[in-house]
Homo-oligomer: A and B are copies of this chain.
Amino acid sequence: MHRSIATVSLSGTLRQKLEAVAAAGFDGIELFEADFINFKGTAAELRRITADLGLTIDLYQPFRDFEGMPEPQFHRSLERAERKFDLMEAMGAPMVLCCSNTSPLSVNDPALAAAQLHELAERAARRNLRVGFEALAWGRHTSLYGQAWEIVKEANHAHLGLILDSFHTLSLKDDPAGIASIPGDKIFFLQMADAPLLSMDVLQWARHHRSFPGQGDFDVVGFFEQVLRAGYTGPLSLEIFNDIFRETPNRRTAVDAMRSLLYLESEARQRLDDVEPVQLFSPPPVPALSGLSFIEFAADEASAATLSTLVKQLGFRRIGKHRSKAVTLYREGEINLIVNAQPDSFARGRFEAHGTSVCALGVRCDDPLAAVGRATAMRSQRHDSPVGPNELRVPAIVAPGGNLIHFVPEALGANGLYEADFILEDDGAGANDAGLQRIDHVALGLALDQLDTWVLFTRAVLGLEPGESLELADPFGLIRSRGVANADRSLRLVLNVSLSQRTRTARTLSVTGGGAVHHIALSCADIFETAAKLRANGTRFVPISDNYYDDLATRIDIAPELLARMREAGVLFDRSPAGDYLHIYTESFEGGLFFEVAQRVGNYDAYGALNAPARMASQAQD
């Protein structure tokens, strides 16, 4: 499809926006009027700049408060339209977006609206321009696409058609199914927007909180499917008003935007194998992932020694040294931790930039090459590390923020990769084993402008689905937290964003850069046994107030013996209808990173987020 984006969706000057859009591979733009009004150049100059960048100007927008107007406003608006048509001719923009009237002066008379739009279309036709009419969700008399379509039908002019925007339909919970029966050639333009589900005034929602398809909660794929079933073959475009995108570096936004369209096309394609009116993007399928094989830390010699002490307290034993690099492998249960202190390596670069921190995750995957193919098709970068003789090349990609995700072949089994790359020699510290079994989840600390980026990346590239978005109170500001996971829950990430600059999460970020691993949760079968063993090994846990347990007993029906054990051990508790979650946090080490130990009971499917304030308050009181 012809892929386009409205200039209002990105930060920067108009010229910077165009360059970012072109670099991300778009075909065209919607020109947001304010961007042109403040542009220091003529329409003809803009035409030349966009053409040089390989972009078309697909739409001039918006033209407001036109239809259903009394005189003298109507003829004044026609005059205004002629001036905008002058510009459109000069810049080579073939279509104007006319959005439904919000003026208190407008009258509720679809026949009048149709007649006036006919007149507008007639004037546009004289210059071979076209007019698209769009129902705004907060339009005074026309707020649904069905109403707009009735007016367009009644106006009955070849140069007048419908513009659809998924936000206006889905925000009002209107049913998009009727779109499929509109003639495809009368749909002149398509704008796709997603959004989080928010209980707020639709205008404010629309102006501040839209997001790219795949970043929000709307059924954008279902909407797009109906438009394709109508036979639409025009541009696929994004018009996203978002306060955070207004300040995000526009090169990143443009990549996210392109990824969102590719994701949307590929998802819709799976529903449309019978009809294919346009060519939809077709990447390799989402890989089948089955949990984390390893977590790799970037370190230098000194911090590698500190980490070694720490992970041994957690019950890990050192089981190997890398064949060619200063890299050490630790294991407990099925968990592999790698400490990479190799000079001149990727890890060392991360260490120098961010201190001791996680620099890579190893994800088990049935077909690593297909996974990398999917990722690069979805505009992620492939990463190739230098490999020594007889070592395995594990394909990797760069995640947003710069860490690596390696795809470890399932076929290697639990030990294949490590046998190939490491000289295995157990340090005999197995007596410390505390019963940690698997990596339950990895929590990331993200800068505010990276949450949408990560939701889309994990969805489009890794096939994970986001869960509920929660707000948690740190003593110094709010944290937004959202889990993403694959279908069988073998791979779980938690995305945490600090809305404040003063929380511990934000301060960790300022040390380690956005996109850092914030903590690592490891699972066990019996948290009391494991916690006792870890304490005996020297692990220190964040202490929890007695008041927490007094309150817990008033909220949840818990056996007194269990409550007493939790109080004694400092274990936190959450319950859902599906099951329970018992967990405990270690004190943080260098850079703010810490571990969580968790026991899931039944089919509990969350992350104990409601207990995070108890941890954050405890950390703040130290």
> Which residues does A use to contact B, with CB under 8 Å?
11-13, 15-16, 33-34, 36-43, 79-80, 83-84, 87, 198-201, 203-204, 243, 246-247, 473, 475-478, 499-503, 543, 545-548, 550-551, 553-555, 613-614, 617-618, 620-621
Contact = CB atoms under 8 A, between A and B. Distances in A.
A26 to B, nearest CB: 19
A12 B475 contact: yes
A33 B475 CA distance: 14
Contacts of A198: 201, 204
Contacts of A620: 12-13
B475 A13 contact: yes
B87 A550 contact: yes
A502 B250 CA distance: 12
B199 A476 contact: no
B204 A478 contact: no
A620 B15 CA distance: 11
B545 A37 contact: yes
Q: How many copies does the complex hold?
A: 2
Given A83-B550, A84-B554, A199-B201, 8 more contacts: A12-B476, A13-B621, A33-B551, A36-B547, A37-B551, A38-B614, A87-B550, A246-B473
Contact of A614 (B33, B37, B79): B37
Contacts of A16: 475
A39 B545 contact: yes
A476 B246 contact: yes
A613 B38 contact: yes
B246 A500 contact: yes
Contacts of A79: 554
A246 B477 CA distance: 5
For the complex of A and B, the 7 pairs showing the least CB-CB separation, nearest first, are A38-B617, A199-B201, A247-B500, A247-B477, A200-B200, A80-B554, A37-B551
A617 B500 contact: no
A424 to B, nearest CB: 45
A578 to B, nearest CB: 19
A321 to B, nearest CB: 43
B618 A502 contact: no
Nearest to A41: B545
A11 B475 contact: yes
